[in-house]
Amino acid sequence: MKPRRSNLSVPGHVEKMHAKAAKSAADVIMLDLEDSVPVDSKDQAREQVIESLTQLDWSNSTVTVRINSLDTPFAYRDLLEVAENCGHIIDAIVIPKVNHPSDIHFADHLLNGVELNKNISVAVGIEASIETAEGLQVAYEIAGASQRVTSLVFGIADYSASIGARLVSISGHGEKEEDLYPGHRWHFPLSKMVMAAKANATLAIDAPYGNFKDLDGLRRSAVMACALGCDGKWAIHPGQVDVINDVFTPAQEDIDLAQKVLAANEEAKAKGKGAIAVEGRMVDQATVRLATNLWNQAKHLGLV
């Protein structure tokens, strides 16, 4: 799977942003039909997204579309019309506020029918946003509900609202947390979502950081997410992309260490040895798996 370090959200109804986004350094461009679009612009946004997807060149990016949540009057048309017109172009549909595996089953069956009807040979993926206490409770089942599920995404603002957490910033997206809580306030839900994703061989993507002018705060947030096992982070502004890409790109020293671990493991297997030593320290198979994951990511990014 292609790296998904940075996931740039772009309002679906703002045409002028789409061409710029198609040339962005972000790994994923997400054309949004949900939160960034006013209610009276939903139909126009859907039409604009379809036009942009079919008219612009998206070959250099992974491109997704976030539909409206399934409990709205917009979602079924979002899913059907985007899939029918652009299923051969997009990599995935992003479904917000997924609360139950049945949400995934619904989208999966509809996409099956569209792909059969339109002769779409490559299946459209599904990214499921975990944004409520109800969704987090069954995150493992959601991640395993369909082979289409490529990633789970943490929705920090809606999750905060669902549990009645205190609002500490205008955006509600992660900044100023240290003023309220002496630690990482979202460590448990994010870790639980990561566990559910990885147990089902899918990616885990962190929520955006709301203050797009605070790049230091963004970096701290991204470093924490990376440390917890996330594979990337959403961005709400193009100026955030470089920082996110940097944090989620393996450092050269880490790549070098992974190479040493993998080489030592191959040498040990060739000699029939079970124990592996690297730079005077014993290495177990869990470390070998970590080294393999890092090496594969570096290969995808053209770093090795």
- How far from 207 is each of 210, 224, 237, CA to CA, in Å? 9, 12, 13
> Which comes out higher in pLDDT, residue 153 or 289?
153
What's residue 3's pLDDT? Answer: 84
Assess whether 28 and 127 both reside in one domain.
yes
Residue 1 lies in a domain: no
Q: If pLDDT is split at 50, 70 and 90, which confidence band does 267 have? A: confident
Average pLDDT value for the chain: 92
Please give the model's pTM, rounded to 2 decimal places: 0.88
- Total number of domains in the chain: 2
Residue 5 token pair: 């370090």
Torsions phi, psi of 177, nearest 5?
-60, -35
Assess whether 221 and 291 both reside in one domain.
no
Assess whether 124 and 267 both reside in one domain.
no
What's residue 277's pLDDT? Answer: 78
> Which comes out higher in pLDDT, residue 253 or 285?
253
Q: Is the pLDDT of residue 284 over 90?
A: no
Domain containing 78 equals 6-247
Q: If pLDDT is split at 50, 70 and 90, which confidence band does 77 have? A: very high
Residue 97 lies in a domain: yes
Residues paired with residue 151 on neighbouring β-strands, in sequence order: 127, 203
Please report which helix (H) or strand (E) contains residue 8, including its range. Answer: strand 6-11
Residue 128 lies in a domain: yes
Residue whose C-alpha is closest to residue 124's, from 82, 71, 77, 184:
82
Sign of CA dihedral 76, 79, 82, 87: negative
Domain with residue 44: its CATH number is: 3.20.20.60
pLDDT tens per residue across span 80-137: 999 999 999 999 999 999 999 999 999 999 999 999 999 999 999 999 999 999 999 9
3-state per-residue secondary structure call for 230-280:
CCEEEECCHHHHHHHHHHCCCCHHHHHHHHHHHHHHHHHHHCCCCCEEECC
Tell me the DSSP string of 130-199.
E-SHHHHHTHHHHHTS-TTEEEEEE-HHHHHHHHTPPP-SSS-SSTTGGGT-SS-TTHHHHHHHHHHHHH
Q: Percent of the chain at pLDDT above 70?
A: 94
Q: If pLDDT is split at 50, 70 and 90, which confidence band does 38 have? A: very high
Assess whether 242 and 274 both reside in one domain.
no
Q: If pLDDT is split at 50, 70 and 90, which confidence band does 31 have? A: very high
- How far from 87 is each of 20, 46, 120, 169, CA to CA, in Å? 22, 14, 7, 37
Residue 288 token pair: 């070998």
What's residue 270's pLDDT? Answer: 83
Residue 12 token pair: 């679906």
Q: What is the mean pLDDT of residues 144-173?
A: 85
Assess whether 60 and 165 both reside in one domain.
yes
Residue 27 lies in a domain: yes
Q: If pLDDT is split at 50, 70 and 90, which confidence band does 52 have? A: very high
Q: If pLDDT is split at 50, 70 and 90, which confidence band does 265 have? A: confident
Quote the CA–CA distance of 126 and 147 in Å, as a whole number: 9
Assess whether 157 and 256 both reside in one domain.
no
Assess whether 51 and 139 both reside in one domain.
yes
Q: If pLDDT is split at 50, 70 and 90, which confidence band does 172 have? A: low
Q: Are 103 and 75 contacting, i.e. CB atoms less than 8 angstroms apart?
A: no
pLDDT tens per residue across span 217-226: 999 999 999 9
